[in-house]
Amino acid sequence: MRDDFSEEVKRTIANRVNNRCSNPDCCVPTSGPQLDPAKSLNIGVAAHVTAASIGGPRYGASLSPQQRKHASNAIWLCQNCAKLVDNDEARFPESLLRRWKQSAEASALNLLGKTAISVDPRLSNLSPEEIEILCAAADKGDIYLFSSNETGSWIAVRPQNFVDQTDPAYAAAYTDALESLQARRLVKYDEGSLYVLTGTGFKLARALKTTSLESSRDQAKTLARSK
Ligand SMILES: [Zn+2]
């Protein structure tokens, strides 16, 4: 008689760790797309911290069947790691698996709700000008680099012109930002004076726009409450 986990328990513990293997030396994603657009594939396993049946690894005789199939006795692992921990009980005792589970859940919680910028180190340290250009271009993706004899070069994302007639440093900060966005492959040159967002650029720009809208909405709510 095996005390197997219900489908709900499996789904829950997978989601609690962002659908990644909980072995800190592995962390491989355990879900992805199938060729059929209506299906996803899963290479994760809800492994028993203490075994589902007598004679299994780390079996706890004192546990009731209910406790044995409870989510607290499950750890989400990839298929490889699930095999590994069950084949070498001495190297992977219950206490170690509990530590893995705890730290995998803690890091999933830590990443939750963060924007792509804070998660992806390649996208860290975007300047305020870069963020402003991305947000402005989020809908259409068009960014223009104009220049004239009087003003020099400046960036425009219609209907906005990033230029200040009284301060040439202002326009320069945005032309630098465009260069940096190109180096990050978020923007690419199209033709004439036109630059466009790349696929990644669009994704990030829209995520940024949504977060900035949400945070200004939150600020508005906080203000309304404090009145
Ligand atoms: Zn793994």
200 CA to middle of ligand 1, Å?
28
Whether the pLDDT of residue 15 is over 80: the answer is yes
The closest of 7, 24, 1, 10 to 73, measured between CA atoms, is 10
The answer to whether 73 and 63 are in contact (CB under 8 A) is yes
93 CA to middle of ligand 1, Å?
16
Q: Does domain 119-226 have CATH number 1.20.1730?
A: no
61 CA to middle of ligand 1, Å?
27
Residue spans of the domains in the chain: they are 7-111, 119-226
104 CA to middle of ligand 1, Å?
12
The pLDDT of residue 85 is: 95
The pLDDT of residue 216 is: 59
**Beta bridge pairs of residue 144:** 156, 194
The pLDDT of residue 208 is: 76
Could you read off the pLDDT of 121-180 as tens digits, one per residue?
A: 556 567 778 888 998 999 999 999 999 888 789 999 999 999 988 888 999 999 999 999
92 CA to middle of ligand 1, Å?
13
- Residue 203 banded pLDDT, cuts 50, 70, 90: confident
**∠ CA 79-91-27, rounded to 5°:** 40
138 CA to middle of ligand 1, Å?
37
Alpha-carbon torsion angle 177, 178, 183, 185, nearest 10: 120
- Residue 209 banded pLDDT, cuts 50, 70, 90: confident
Residues in the chain, overall count: 227
Percentage of residues of the chain with pLDDT beyond 90: 56
Phi, psi of 77 (to 5 degrees): -135, 160
Mean model confidence pLDDT for the chain: 87
Q: Is the dihedral of CA 88, 7, 23, 102 positive or negative?
A: negative
81 CA to middle of ligand 1, Å?
4
10 CA to middle of ligand 1, Å?
16
The pLDDT of residue 227 is: 47
76 CA to middle of ligand 1, Å?
9
